Structure 1
Amino acid sequence: MSDAIADNISIVAVIGAGTMGHGIAQVCAMAGCTTRLTDVGQPQVDAGLSMVASNLEKGVARGKLTEADQQATLARLTGTTSLEDAVRGADLVIEAAPERLEIKRDIFTRVAAVVSEHAVLGTNTSSLSIADIAAPIQNPSRVIGLHFFNPVHIMKLLEIVVAEQTSDDVTARMRAFAERIGKQPIVVKDAPGFATSRLGLVIGLEAIRMVEQGVASAQDIDKAMTLGYGFPMGPLKLTDLVGLDVRLSIAEYLAGKLEQGAHFEPPQLLRDMVAAGKLGKKSGSGFYEW
Structure 2
Amino acid sequence: MNDGNPDIRKVGVVGCGLMGSGIAEVFARSGLHTLVHEVDKAALDSGRERIGRSLARAVERGRLTPEQLERVEASLAFTTDLEDFADRDLAIEAVPEIEDLKVGVFTTLDRVVQRTDALFASNTSSIPIMKLGAATSRPGQVMGLHFFNPVPVLDLVELVPSLLTDDSAWTRMRHFVSTVLGRHVIVSQDRAGFVVNSLLVPYLLSAIRMFESGFAVAHDIDEGMVRGCGHPMGPLALVDHIGLDTTLAVAESLYAEFREPHYAPPPLLSRMVQAGNTGRKSGRGFYTYPTAASR
TM-score by length of 2: 0.93
After superposition, what is the alpha-carbon deviation per residue over 1:71-92, rounded to whole angstroms, capped at 9, x for unaligned?
211111111111111x121111
Query: Secondary structure in 1 aligned to 2:158?
Result: strand
Q: Which runs of 5+ in 2 are unaligned?
A: 290-295
After superposition, what is the alpha-carbon deviation per residue over 1:146-186, rounded to whole angstroms, capped at 9, x for unaligned?
00111111111100111111111121122222222231110
Alignment match, 1:173:
172
Match of 1:95 among 93, 96, 102: 93
Query: Secondary structure in 1 aligned to 2:186?
Result: strand
Output the CA distance in 2 between the equivalents of 1:147 and 1:67. 30
Count residues in correspondence. Answer: 283
Letter in 2 for 1:225: M
Alignment match, 1:218:
218
Query: Secondary structure in 1 aligned to 2:262?
Result: helix
Output the CA distance in 2 between the equivalents of 1:181 and 1:24. 10
Alignment match, 1:21:
20
Q: Residues 226 and 156 from structure 1, CA distance in 2 versus in 1: closer, same or farther, beyond 3 angstroms?
A: farther
After superposition, what is the alpha-carbon deviation per residue over 1:104-153, rounded to whole angstroms, capped at 9, x for unaligned?
11111111112112110000000110001111211200000000111111
Is the contact made by 1:248 and 1:271 (CA closer than 8 Å) also made in structure 2?
yes
Is the contact made by 2:92 and 2:123 (CA closer than 8 Å) also made in structure 1?
yes
Output the CA distance in 1 between the equivalents of 2:23 and 2:223. 29
Q: Residues 182 and 238 from structure 1, CA distance in 2 versus in 1: closer, same or farther, beyond 3 angstroms?
A: farther
Pair 1:200-2:200 in alignment = yes
Question: Shift of residue 7 of structure 1?
Answer: 4.2
Letter in 2 for 1:38: H
Output the CA distance in 2 between the equivalents of 1:183 and 1:58. 21
Question: Shift of residue 225 of structure 1?
Answer: 2.0
Output the CA distance in 2 between the equivalents of 1:8 and 1:219. 49
Alignment match, 1:32:
31
Output the CA distance in 2 between the equivalents of 1:78 and 1:289. 35
Match of 1:110 among 100, 108, 111: 108
Alignment match, 1:51:
50
Is the contact made by 1:46 and 1:79 (CA closer than 8 Å) also made in structure 2?
no
Q: Which stretches of structure 1, 4 residues or more, deviate above 3 A after TM superposition? A: none
Output the CA distance in 2 between the equivalents of 1:177 and 1:232. 30
Alignment match, 2:158:
159
Output the CA distance in 1 between the equivalents of 2:183 and 2:219. 30
Output the CA distance in 1 between the equivalents of 2:228 and 2:86. 49
Output the CA distance in 2 between the equivalents of 1:227 and 1:177. 38
Output the CA distance in 1 between the equivalents of 2:119 and 2:41. 26
Alignment match, 1:41:
40
After superposition, what is the alpha-carbon deviation per residue over 1:188-232, rounded to whole angstroms, capped at 9, x for unaligned?
110121111111101110111111112222222222222322322
Q: Which runs of 5+ in 1 are unaligned?
A: 1-5
After superposition, what is the alpha-carbon deviation per residue over 1:40-62, rounded to whole angstroms, capped at 9, x for unaligned?
11111111111111111111111
Output the CA distance in 2 between the equivalents of 1:38 and 1:110. 13
What do you get for the CA RMSD once the two structures are aligned?
Answer: 1.3
Is the contact made by 2:125 and 2:192 (CA closer than 8 Å) also made in structure 1?
no
Pair 1:61-2:84 in alignment = no
Letter in 1 for 2:241: L
Is the contact made by 2:162 and 2:189 (CA closer than 8 Å) also made in structure 1?
yes
Question: Shift of residue 70 of structure 1?
Answer: 1.4
Alignment match, 1:3:
none
